Amino acid sequence: MGVSEVLQRWVLPMVLLLLGAGGNRPAYASHRVHTMYQNYEPAQVSQRHRTGYHFQPIKNWINGPMYYNGVYHLFYQYNPKGAVWGNIVWAHSVSTDLINWIPVEPAIYPSKPFDINGCWSGSATILPGKRPAILYTGIDPENRQAQNIAFPKNLSDPFLREWDKPDYNPVIVPDAGINASAFRDPTTAWVGEDGTWRLLVGSRRKHRGMAVLYRSRDFVRWDKAKHPLHSSAGTGMWECPDFFPVSLRSNYGMDTSVVGGGVKHVLKVSLDVTRYEYYTVGRYFPDVDRYVPDNSSADDHTGLRYDYGNFYASKTFFDPAKNRRILWGWSNESDSRDSDVGKGWAGVQAIPRTVWLSKDGKQLLQWPVEELETLRGKRVEAHNVKLVKGGPFEVGGILASQVSPPKHFLHHRRSLTLGSSTFFIDD
């Protein structure tokens, strides 16, 4: 099918989906929307420039993680019909080592009135009795953003392939004080010493970004708190908020519900205006449900970032198997629309990283997960090599894409050729 046929077939229904009917406001999100390509299936997927070690599906467009009973679950925003944003479902892949992934059926897709116009981002929480729950943003027939819940149908299935969306959804709806087109991405919930669950939803009031707080005793009926957990002027819409504790005493991760002495908290937000993220380190006061950042970094777009490259919509989760907190992030394409459509895919997940608090308590430190070491092959060494000034020395048998750049040289400004690439090193 040619592009002109796709335009004729898809442009009208997709415009109606995005703009709504009866004069309703659109569901707001700052993605580049190319309605004519949202359902354009690639005839052939180009392998050029595809990553070897980053997670990405076989084809099309991608954009929360969970550990349960020995299996890592990666849920991700995915367009099953094209290489541009649209037709978003919750795709689902599973792994036992964070390296090798098995794709399974989509966990959530638009099927009921409370999410018929889209299933957007959210988070997973493990409830008492080891019952997982997903909270996600659904777009209803009026194009309002509301928060829904889903549970696995069969807990004996190690891959949790099928999920059920109860008919009592939505569980959180925007009230009169909330902008219904800027109200999304619920966090992993945490439970206080009072037995009450809490979660955050990203929002804004004019140009003030907000982490709106909700409480529940049963994880079904949620009440909005009088004040947000935190907000910051001039930051715009807060997408994909993430709130978690970090230890002052060790590099180990902590369950999301941990509070008390020896703990600080991190609040990360993704800025819809700038399309990058920032985080602060501070104190959480559970008695009043307020988060107060330390004065060690800015509480705006100039603040600390996990990554200063192409990195967005990140999410952490606690891995109880190895007592660590793992960070996932999404790298969008900088290619043109036509390039994405032509190659048949767009977007990758960054390498998962372990994060912990620095010794001075002012910022996070991070390192690729230890499982990545299993990808390393043979060690290649060269000893007692005399380097001629201005001349190269080639190490054979490997490609430049397979190596980590060497660290130690005895001479100043020498070149080392690895496969097809030459590195110039200053000692």
> Domain limits of the chain?
3-373, 377-427
Mean pLDDT across the chain: 82
Superfamily designation of domain 3-373: Glycosyl hydrolase domain; family 43 (2.115.10.20)
* pLDDT at position 40 over 60: no
207: amino acid identity, one letter: H
pLDDT tier at 49, thresholds 50, 70, 90: very low
Distance CA 253, CA 255 (A): 7
Q: What are phi and psi of 362, to 5 degrees?
A: -105, -20
| Residue-wise pLDDT tens digits, 80-125 | 777 666 778 899 999 999 999 999 999 999 999 999 999 999 999 9
Task: Tell which wins on pLDDT, 246 or 55.
Answer: 246
Per-residue model confidence (pLDDT) at position 264: 98
pLDDT for position 42: 45
Query: In the prediction, which pLDDT does 332 show?
Result: 75
Give the model's pLDDT for residue 286.
97
**280, 286, 290, 291 alpha-carbon torsion, rounded to 10°:** -10
- Whether 403 shows a pLDDT value over 80: the answer reads no
How far is the first Cα of the chain from the last one, in angstroms, to the nearest whole number? Answer: 57
Task: Express each pLDDT in 338-371 by its tens digit.
Answer: 776 666 666 788 899 999 999 999 999 999 999 9
Q: Is the pLDDT of residue 315 over 60?
A: yes
Taking 60 as the threshold, does the pLDDT of residue 74 lie above it?
yes
At residue 132, the pLDDT reads 96
Average pLDDT over residues 139-144: 95
Average pLDDT over residues 36-45: 43
The residue count of the chain comes to 427
Looking at residue 2, its pLDDT comes to 37
pLDDT top residue among 134 and 49: 134
Is the pLDDT score of 414 beyond 80?
no
Q: Mean pLDDT across the stretch 188-200?
A: 97
Give the pLDDT confidence score for residue 395 in this predicted structure: 75
pLDDT exceeds cutoff 50 at 38 = no
Burial of 247 (0-12, 13-18, 19+ CB in 10 A): middle
Q: Mean pLDDT lowest for which of 56-70, 146-160, 309-323, 404-418?
A: 404-418
Of the ranges 21-35, 244-258, 306-320, which one carries the lowest mean pLDDT score?
Answer: 21-35
Over 70: is that where the pLDDT of 162 sits? yes
What pLDDT was estimated at residue 5? Answer: 30
Largest CA distance in the chain: 78
CA distance 137 to 170: 9
Bridge-based pairing of strands 345-346 and 60-62 is parallel
Measured CA to CA, the distance from residue 134 to residue 149 in angstroms comes to 6
Q: How confident is the model at residue 56 (pLDDT cuts 50, 70, 90)?
A: low
- Confirm if 80 and 60 have CB atoms less than 8 A apart: yes
